[in-house]
Every structure is written in C-alpha cells, then in structure tokens.
Structure 1
Amino acid sequence: MPIFMDRHDVSEHVSAEVLAEIHQEDLKIEHEYGCRGFTYWFDNKRKNVFCLIEAPNKEAIVKMHRQAHGDVPNTIIEVEASLVESFLGRISDPENTNNSSLNIINDSAYRILMYISFYRNPSSNGYGFQETLKTLDHHITKLINTKHGNIVKKDKHGYLISFKSVINAINTVVEIESKIRNNLPMSNTYLKIAVASGEPVTSKPQIFEDVITLINRMCESINSDITISYEVKQLYESETLEPLPLNKTIRALTPVEEKFLMLFMDNIENSWHNPEVSIEALSESLGYSKSQLYRKVTALTGKSPNSFLRDYRLERAVRLMDNQEGNISEIAFETGFNSLAYFSKCFKNKYNMLPSKYTQ
C-alpha cells in the first residue's frame, strides 16, 4: 500500500499539545478508512504539520482527517519511506520524553539541504579522477557524520545531504573548502556546493522538490564554487548573530537573483534541446530586452546568455558520453547542435580536445 505525506498549515493558536490530541483522534478511526498513521512533524515557529500515513489513496486520508477533527490537508504527495527517513531522520514517533500519556511532538520537518557536485575535468584525460573521488568520499562521509548530516543520495555525480541545523550545514561547507578541497589534487575534478532550505511538501509532486531544484540549479549555473541561498544566510545570521563567512569562493544569493535564476533555468531546460532556440526568443519569453538579459545572466553565471547555453549543452554532452548513451553524432544532435562539425569545434574550444579523443 502506498505511503503519503500531507501538509497542514495551522493557526497561531495551535500548540504541540493540541496536535498530540488531534493525532490520537486520527488513530482511533484510521482503520475505518484503511489508513495507518506512522508519525507527524510539527513546526511551532512556521505553524505547519506534516503527517506520514499509509493509505489506499489520497481521498481516504482526507476523509479520515475530516471525520476525526475536520482539519483536512492542504496538499498530499506520495513518498518513499526510505527517502523520508533519509531526509527527516525518522518514520515513526520519537521517544516519549514528556512523562505524560500523550507523546507531544514538537519536531520541525524544515531542513537545510546541501548538494555537493563533482565531475571530472575533461581536459585532464581522467588521470587520477577515480583516486580523487575515493579520497573525497572518505573525507566527506566522515565530516558529514561528525556534523550530524544525513546522506540522502550518493552517486557518481555527487551527494545530496540533509541537515537539521543550519550551523552544522555551514560549518560543513567551510571545512570542505578549507580542509578537504585545499588538501587534495583537484586539477582533475570540478567540485561545487549549493545549500538551500525548505519544507518537504509544497505544491510540487516530489518530497523537497523545490529545494532540490534550487540547489541543482545553483550548482549548475552560478559563477561560484559554493552558493548559499538567501534564506539559509538569514537563518545562519539570526542563529549565530554573526555574518555568513563569505569570501571569493562562497557566494550568497539575493531573493531577486534566486527568482531570476529559477525563471531563466525554467526556460533553458524547456528549450536547450532545440537547435533553433534564440537568445531573442529567450529574452522575449522572460520579458527582458537582450541587454537586460545579458547583464542579469552575466552577473549570475559569469557568461553571456549564448555562452551559457552552449556550455550547458556541452556539459550534458559530456554526461551522455560518460554514460555511453549514443555515439558522438547522436549526442551532438540530441544536445541541440545542428552540425557535428560545430559541436566538435565548440567541444575542442572548451575542453582542448576533440570529442573522439574524449570518448577514448
């Protein structure tokens, strides 16, 4: 039977004690609707609740809540229990430490997510890349455990990590930069980090989808080794009463920059396969003049819109080559180049070698 997570936005007057009582009302009648409640999270500061429930469908959850207490959820998404545990640290009620019959839960589902992205420098011919990754994995895994982070996902492209504490997340970033990156031979490896924050259920169908999309785009696009979202910067400075430790490798975005990044990348992701797409059309769809778009894209990415689109295509071509997903000609046309000769020229200009040599 599927597992769902729902979201309730509650009034200022709702307390953890009230929610514990409401949860008991759900448990009394859940069997009538074929449901089984695992646990819930309550954030008293943000006044939201997230319930984890096994149920035959979303409608059964709504009916159960409506009969039990009348507070139906704003949003319901289907989730995997293992992912929920990786992000939030548990899928059952925490231990009752209240010395009362009610297990009063005051545990926020708000998380700081970090994406550590790495890929080999094509110009290095791959020499020493696997050895560097093994060393990175050893140091990063040990550091994350020390800082009480949860590794949600790890693959050949990087790590997705969840933190409950913004201070632990930022300290992890600082230590990776000062103690790991600087002590490794990184000429064969690109390493980028992005940090943002948010809640597990929004209007999107996947858990933490808004935050994951943002950190992926920050890693892919921003002209900085380490990029921090505006909200994480505010959280860190409010908790520590100290400024975020910014330097030439660590950049914090403004709300305006984040909004533009998401709009720009929405358009890029919808059009990059199309060899006929033009910067003029992109400018028009975003509502900017060509000169305005040039200034905004250059300030964020360090590249002109044309250069950014070309490099975006080339980076995806490299991934397809690494995964052996087609021959060079097929990959060139799949990534939006309308000429194999032009693709080879662009590839050589960026990576100092022809695609044929890279695949060898």
Structure 2
Amino acid sequence: MPLFLDLHEMPDGVTAEHVAQMHQADLEIEHKYNCRGLTYWCDEKRQRAFCLIEAPNKKALKDLHSHAHGDIPLRIIEVDETIVESFLGRIEDPEKSQNTELNIINDPAFRVLMVLETSNYLNRLEANQFTIFAQKFHNNVSKTLKKFNGRIVKKDNNSYLASFKSVSDAVLCALKIKFQFKYVTPKFDPSTRKLNIALSSGVPVTNKDNIFEETITLATRMCDVVKEQLVITSEVKLLYESENRNAAIDDKMIKILQPNEEKFLNQLIDYVEQAWNKPNFNVNDFSRALGLSKSQLYRKLTKLTGQSPNSFLKEFRLNKALNLLHEQYGNISEIAFETGFNSAAYFSKCFLDKYGILPSKYIQQHIA
C-alpha cells in the first residue's frame, strides 16, 4: 500500500498535545478508510505538523483526517519509507512516547541538508591512485558525518546527501570535512581534487512532488554553481547563531548566500535548464529572460560564480555533455549537437580546454 507524508499548518494556540489528540482520533477510525497511521512530527515553533500514513490513495487519507478531526492537510506527497527514515530518523513513534496514554511527540521534521561533491569520474590519475583517494575520502567523510550526527541519505563515488537535526552539527561537520580534505591525498595535484559543500534547510513537504525537494534543489545548485568551497543559506546562518548565542559565522571560511542571491540563483538555473541546449541561445536571451541588463547579469553572475555569462553557459553545456558521454548516450557528434554546440570540432576543442582530454580519448579511457 502506498505511503504518504502530509503537511498540516497549526493555528495559533495549537500545541503538541492538541496534535497528539488529533493523531489519536485518526488511529481510532483509520480502519474504516483502510489506512494505517505510522507516526507524526510536530513543530510548535514553526507551527507545522506532518503525518506519515499508509493509505490506498490521497483521497482516503483526506477523508480519514476530515472525519477524525476536520483538519485537512495542505499538501500530500507519496514517499518511500527508507528515504523517510534516512532523512528523519524514524518511520514510527519514538520509543519514549510508545505505550503512553496520549502519544505527545514534539519532534520537528525541519532538517539541515548537506550536499557534498568532489572530483568527478574524469579527474582520475591512475586507477589505483583514484581507489586510494576514494577510500580515504569516503572513510573520512563517513566518520565525520557520524561524529556530528549526520544521517547519510544518498552517496556515490563523488557526492553525498546528508541530513542533520542540529544546525550547529551541520555547520561544524562541513567545516571539519573542508579542513581535513587537503590532508586526504596530499601527494596529488590539488587542481584534480576539488571539494564543494552546501547547506540549506527546510521541511519535507512543500509544493514540490518529492520529499525535501526544495531544500535538496537549492543545496545542489549552491554546490554546483557558487564559486566558494563552502556555502550556506542565510537561514542556516541565522539558525546557527541562534543556537550558539549569537556566535558569528566567519564569512572568510563560509560563503553566506543572501536571500537576493538565492533568488537569483534559482531564477538563473530554472531558466538555463530550459534553454541550455538551444544552439542560438545567447547572452541577450539570458539577460532578457532574467529581467536584467547585460551589465547587471555580468556583475551578478561573476560575483556568484566567478564566470562570465558565456563561460557559465559553456561550462553548463560541457558538464551535461560529460554526463551524456559517461552514460553512452550517443556518439560525439550526436552529443555535441544535443548539448547546443554548433559543430563536433568546436565541442571537442571546448571539451579539451576544460577537461584536458579529447572526448574521443575520454571514451577510450573511461567507457570502452
């Protein structure tokens, strides 16, 4: 049976005890709607509650809530129980609240998410050296995440997605990983060993279709686009300072993305993801779509990414092309035109300039 996570806004005056009573009312009649309430999260501070319920469909879940207490959820998304547990730490009631007369859980679902990316599959020296680097790197990151109570949601050879309940844990973990990174493989050329970390925060259910989608999307964009090695949102900064009695974050070590920069970043990527593979797409289209003059676009983009609009677009296309090559999407000419380059020869030149290897040679070494 499908599993759903829903969002309820708590009106002023509604407490964790009230939410517990509503949850109890759900449990008493859930069998009538073929539903099973697994647990819930309540956040008095942010006035939000989230219910995790097995149900035949969204309508059955709404009918259950409507008849039990009348509070219809604002939003419902379908979820996977393993993913829920990875982000939120549980898919059932906490032990301390089980077998109590009224199951009061004042446990927020708000999380700080870390996206961490290191050198991609292209940046290998020799296979055995890459293996040594990967082992050391992953051992180091895994130990550090565990030390700071981070939960690994997803990882591969080059990236991590991790979840934290504590903002302080998330920030201190990111700083520790950044500090230790240069000691993981000191013999290698630093230019081939890059690390980017981003922290953003939010709740699991928004107007998007997937759990924590808004928070993940922002953190991933920050990690991919912002030129600094470690970047956090202004919300994470404020929460960190609140948790630590206004202890200021050192902006020389951490880039703090301001709200206007966050808005620009999302507008930028939203648009580029729609238009990046059109061969005639140019800077004029770019600036017009974002409602900026060419000079404003240049200034904002170089401050955020360290790149001009033309360079940013070219690199965006090359990253897409690299992924397509790795996935064996097509031959070099097909991928060149698919990613917005006018000719295979020009694509190969740009690829060589960025990655230090021709796409044909890359295929031989990494794919064939």
Which has the larger displacement, 92-101 or 175-184?
92-101
Deviation, 1:157, is 3.3
Q: What is the aligned partner in structure 1 of residue 251 from structure 2?
A: 246
Deviation, 1:338, is 1.8
Q: What is the aligned partner in structure 2 of residue 149 from structure 1?
A: 150
Is 1:12 matched up with 2:12?
Answer: yes
Percent identity reads 50
Aligned pairs for 1:301-316 (under 5 A) are: 301-316=305-320
Q: What is the aligned partner in structure 2 of residue 77 from structure 1?
A: 77
Q: What is the aligned partner in structure 1 of residue 338 from structure 2?
A: 334
Which has the larger displacement, 207-216 or 277-286?
277-286
- Structure 2 length-normalised TM: 0.93
Q: Secondary structure at the match of 1:120?
A: coil
**How many residues are aligned here?**
359
- Paired AA for residue 242 in structure 1: A
| 1:284-316 C-alpha deviation (Å, 9 max, x unpaired) | 111111111111111100001110000111122
Where structure 1 has 5 or more consecutive residues not aligned to the other structure, the ranges are none
Deviation, 1:358, is 2.5
Q: 1:171 to 1:101 in 2, by over 3 A?
A: same
Q: 1:116 to 1:242 in 2, by over 3 A?
A: same
Distance 1:149 1:124 in 2: 28
Cα pair 2:298 2:308 within 8 Å, conserved: yes
Distance 2:341 2:125 in 1: 24
Cα pair 1:194 1:216 within 8 Å, conserved: yes
Cα pair 1:120 1:126 within 8 Å, conserved: no
Distance 2:123 2:184 in 1: 21
Distance 2:97 2:27 in 1: 20
Q: What is the aligned partner in structure 2 of residue 38 from structure 1?
A: 38
Q: Secondary structure at the match of 1:148?
A: coil
Distance 1:19 1:174 in 2: 37
Is 1:262 matched up with 2:266?
Answer: yes
Aligned pairs for 1:335-350 (under 5 A) are: 335-350=339-354
Q: What is the aligned partner in structure 2 of residue 22 from structure 1?
A: 22
Q: What is the aligned partner in structure 2 of residue 184 from structure 1?
A: 185
Deviation, 1:124, is 5.6
Cα pair 1:96 1:104 within 8 Å, conserved: no
Aligned pairs for 1:164-243 (under 5 A) are: 164-185=165-186, 187=190, 188-240=192-244, 241-243=246-248
Where structure 2 has 5 or more consecutive residues not aligned to the other structure, the ranges are none
Cα pair 1:6 1:50 within 8 Å, conserved: yes
Q: 1:292 to 1:14 in 2, by over 3 A?
A: same
Distance 2:328 2:82 in 1: 30
Is 1:162 matched up with 2:163?
Answer: yes
Distance 1:301 1:268 in 2: 14
Q: What is the aligned partner in structure 2 of residue 138 from structure 1?
A: 139
Q: Secondary structure at the match of 2:118?
A: strand
Cα pair 1:42 1:105 within 8 Å, conserved: yes
| 1:227-281 C-alpha deviation (Å, 9 max, x unpaired) | 1111111110111121113325x21100000000000110011111211212111
Deviation, 1:123, is 6.3
- Structure 1 length-normalised TM: 0.95
Q: Secondary structure at the match of 2:116?
A: strand
Deviation, 1:179, is 2.2
Deviation, 1:97, is 5.0
Q: Secondary structure at the match of 1:341?
A: helix
Q: 1:151 to 1:76 in 2, by over 3 A?
A: same
Distance 1:202 1:123 in 2: 37
Q: Which of residues 270, 273, 283 in structure 1 aligns to 2:287?
A: 283
Distance 2:210 2:361 in 1: 39
Distance 2:121 2:182 in 1: 15
Deviation, 1:183, is 3.9
- Paired AA for residue 160 in structure 1: L
Distance 1:140 1:132 in 2: 12
Over the aligned positions, Cα root-mean-square deviation in angstroms equals 1.7
- Paired AA for residue 336 in structure 2: A
